Amino acid sequence: MSRPRIFVTQPIAESALNRLRAVADVEVNPDSSRVLPKDKLIAGVKRADILLCLLHDVIDRDVLTANPALKAVSSMNITQDRIDLAAATELGIPVTNIPAIVTDATADIAFGLLLAVARNIALGDRLFRQGVYPGSQSNHLAGYAVSGKTLGLVGFGRIGRAVGRRGGGFGMKIIYCDPRRLPEAEEQKFGATYGSFEDVLRQSDFVSLHPQLAPETRHLMSDAQFALMKKTAFVINTARGPVIDEAALVRALKEKKIAGAGLDVYEFEPQVSPDLVAMDNVVLTPHLGSGVLELREGMANVVADNCIALIEGKPPVSCLNPQVLKKLF
């Protein structure tokens, strides 16, 4: 019996690849600098029994039907973003995922963006490399205070709470909104005050977005919402790009309705509005939320666990459509 074939869309931790090579023939796209184009993704799928994909890979019906022998998709994603789960289920293809293990890494990048945009850290770095040194008490790069300010959290799940804990370390006042309000004892534990979505927008100096992406949260932040914010306030997004109407954000920044933005995710990833790129009061990172070496290695090994379980006919760690699981090899 021939060995199973696994196609990996970008390089992952070598420890995980070595485990996979022990049980399968593994082909890895060697380019880690960009998302694999659709035609090359389909070409790889045609040579595979298992597709091992990353968060940014769009696994639509075209990809899933490119190879009738495709037995499974093993994703390094927590949710089904960018995967046509209905099509996979219809085709009898199990789609595995990873548990929610990126909380602290994502909270770190959110607070890093907050600090960077408020205190002009990214702009200062860029100018200093160009030879600009205004002097240590010049107002040229003076930014906004963070300590003691109000941090508004839109969504108070695991990541929102982790960002709130970091804000508490800076003596910030924490206000949150969420479809489910916490019991009063829990609010006291986190030092957080509950308010409506509009309350959070009006009162906060920093609005950090943490809702799940759903039809009702797409363009949650648009013209009307930016108009409610303080002109001295910043918006931070490490959730999902389409939560913000990017064109509305550009208008709000150009019209000085808000002071700035820190973004790790974008409405049309990997593309970003050229207007945002040109703005000094915007800090942009290329979806680095889980970009911690030891975390990425752990994620890769969970995906390897899932692949190996499928090959051995065992239940994977986690599966988005468990109803199609059966002995596949």
Q: How far apart are CA 4 and CA 44, in angstroms?
A: 14
Q: How far apart are CA 310 and CA 325, in angstroms?
A: 9
Residue 25 structure tokens: 């023939």
**Three-state SS string across the chain, please?**
CCCCEEEECCCCCHHHHHHHHCCCEEEECCCCCCCCCHHHHHHHHCCCCEEEECCCCCECHHHHCCCCCCCEEEECCCCCCCECHHHHHHCCCCEECCCCCCHHHHHHHHHHHHHHHHCCHHHHHHHHHCCCCCCCCCCCCCCCCCCCCEEEEECCCHHHHHHHHHHHHCCCEEEEECCCCCCHHHHHHHCEEECCHHHHHHHCCEEEECCCCCCCCCCCECHHHHHHCCCCCEEEECCCHHHECHHHHHHHHHCCCCCEEEECCCCECCECCHHHHHCCCEEECCCCCCCCHHHHHHHHHHHHHHHHHHHCCCCCCCECCHHHCCCCC
Any idea which residues carry the catalytic annotation? 240, 269, 287
Q: Residue 28: beta bridge partners?
A: 8
